[in-house]
Structure 1
């Protein structure tokens, strides 16, 4: 049932990854989109829209106030990393529910996150904020190789790399400094050098309501080999099981709740990356929005809990329904090229071609150029999404479906100056 009033949606993202969230949110409230382009695929899920640059906070506030003159605006919703800060600033300006600007900055600024969690006594890797290569080299010697270099304010793995030896540092540090993401702020002193922590990494989508964090589901990263001998952190897939024991692990739940309290996060759905180490659960980062890579959709398929509905409920300060109504496993597998190439054709199997296959999609079109990191993030040409009764069965179905994807492509030729240098 829809509530009375309107929820402003700041940005809408890419249809392939975000339409599920928007469709579900529209079941709960009237949605008014504030985005740079006129709606196309978004239109069936909206009550209205305004064209505005969502990264220009002054224009965004003016546009929202124009909507508020004719509609009762009750909340703000945003699930795009580049826009969560303007969305928080908008909610603050309108006096409607939403995460605070301070909380969003605490999550966005990875140095700030590390400092706050360290000061609160939560386990953190040894780390240093550096301004140049000399400082990075000194920090890496102090921490001890291997280390991780990462931009202070980016997401989705952009510029993040594993540095195994001093000889690798110069090039990977330069890649981290050059990485960017439109709409996401950069910093003058903008690179972190961190201790590399051994152990599996998971992500947890959870909701913070009335000051308390509740996990919705855990996504385990697929352990497929990454594209090429790359030191970059490119994810090849995720799997969500409704009965994952980590959901009820008291130590993990405590770390997650304490982390969100320390960062001041409330009234939103978050995506937290956690590494399971010999010293316990260590939070890698907190993203102030639902997970990407269709993880929210996997969670909905596995548990029956709909993150789109949950996100609107907390945006309206309404108690969300967190009751699971199914016990399944759902997974997604991304396919990457092994070298820089120009796509000629991508063929994906239909749902009838593989057991448990719910969705498959080509992510690259003929003529597209796919480049390995650090030139591009992520470099995917297709995905397959499957469900099953158990993780083992789901993994087998993903492998079978992925084996039916076909890529026809030609290697990219080196430019003359690159050939001369090679």
Structure 2
């Protein structure tokens, strides 16, 4: 880097326009006001990104050595003032680059605690937080012994994947064998250090929520809370989320203390996290903490409901500033995802254009897309609808009727044979096709 090099914010992966432009827009505005270049390393040729980014380099971001070399080359041309990433497979190399460049980041212990679910469980248990029994196992014999010790039902999951990929509920020994195979095989599409085996956990029963929060110099600051819907049991596909700006849980001291303690235990220093929590009879139980913004358009729901702009918050925490998280709005916004009833090849998807409270509706699969339900595939969504209302019951009703207006035209196909290697869903990688 030369002495007079311009300052820059380095972004690792932009994501889909439909899913992430609302984040990039205010981020670009804040960067320009601060006289900082917005510099992107992206996996594919950019299109819509040109409007917002001053410099774009195309590289294989999923090859972490290539990503690091590309970032270091950019750091010789710019004074890197911050590094940010909101894509699950890339949060670890992004945090490593932030540490290398000496700018605010999750911290290396923090990102490992977020990425490695076994490490997360170990640290949260050591911190005295209520946690289910758990064990990292390498084969089915170990899985049987761990499940017998923990007690059925158990959750079987890969050690370091997102979007509930490979996560299965097993009620007994027979179901455990299938669940272990599913988790093990799913893990093989993830980062190499975490491939193979499975994490066995006791089932924390209760409604599930997620909380997106900012962390500034170790201080945890909740932004918005989403109530989650799941389907396709024994799997945990996320079918929808509801964000209420006035949700009473945002003022629940036990929940907030649990979240703050979890972030301290993991060593998260600066960034935005997406924490998933079960509200059990014994109190809130942290399921996992992700070192990134929530997926599934949850931050967009939060922005619409509260007025908090996630892109502006990202700018603040990446540049070492404490964000202002005061609500500018007070509404309820939800999303509902459309899933097929069986594996299929999409012919066409039609979504409603007008509907009471409808904010946005869009197809998520183009003609010719093969949608595969778990365990042969994940995130098999053909569409989504987003609705807003003044209260939760009205919002749920509007989502029901809007989702019912979606029409899927598709041809049924057989599930893939057992043992077929799983392909990482494009929706999880969050990159334009």
Give the shorter-chain TM-score range: over 0.9
- Bigger shift: residues 98-107 or 274-283: 98-107
**1:282 aligned to 280, 285, 304, which one?**
285
CA RMSD of superposed structures (Å): 1.9
CA distance in 2, matches of 1:250, 1:183: 36
| Local SS of the residue matching 2:352 | coil
TM-score, structure 2 normalization: 0.90
Match of 1:36 in 2: 43
Rounded to whole Å, the distance in 1 between the matches of 2:210 and 2:324 is 21
Cα 1:401–1:172 shift into 2, 3 Å = same
Q: Judging changes above 3 Å, is the alpha-carbon distance between structure 1 residues 123 and 41 closer, same or farther for their aligned structure 2 residues?
A: same
Give, in angstroms, the shift of residue 106 of structure 1. 1.2
Q: Distance in 1 between matches of 2:160 and 2:416?
A: 32
| Alignment partner, residue 15 of structure 2 | 13
* Aligned twin of 1:330: 333
Q: Shift in Å at residue 36 of structure 1?
A: 2.5
Residue 71 of structure 2 is aligned to residue 64 of structure 1: yes
Look up the match of 1:370: 371
Count of residue pairs the alignment pairs up:
409
Per the alignment, residue 406 of structure 2 pairs with 405
Structure 1 window deviating more from structure 2 (402-411 vs 178-187): it is 178-187
Task: Give 4+ residue runs of structure 1 displaced > 6 Å after superposition.
Answer: 414-418
**What is residue 172 of structure 1 aligned with on the other side?**
179
2:253 equivalent in structure 1: 250
Q: Which residue of 2 aligns with 1:83?
A: 90
Deviation at 1:43, TM superposition (A): 1.6
Alignment of 1:290-305 (within 5 A): 290-305=293-308
Cα 1:407–1:267 change in 2 (3 A) is same
Q: TM-score, normalised by structure 1?
A: 0.93
**Residue 157 of structure 2 aligns with which residue?**
150
Between 35-44 and 51-60, report the one with greater CA deviation: 51-60
Give 1:360 deviation, angstroms.
0.6
Instruction: Work out whether residues 187 and 196 of structure 2, in 8 Å CA contact, stay in contact via their aligned partners in 1.
Output: no
8 Å CA contact 2:184, 2:195 repeated in 1: no
Q: How does 1:21-420 map to 2 (within 5 A)?
A: 21-29=23-31, 30-180=37-187, 184-187=191-194, 190-222=197-229, 226-227=231-232, 230-350=233-353, 353-413=354-414
Query: Which segments of 5 or more consecutive residues in structure 1 lack a partner in the other structure?
Result: none
8 Å CA contact 1:153–1:190 kept in 2: the answer is no
Is the CA contact 1:125–1:194 (under 8 Å) kept in the aligned structure 2? yes
What are structure 2's unaligned runs of at least 5 residues? 1-5, 32-36, 420-433
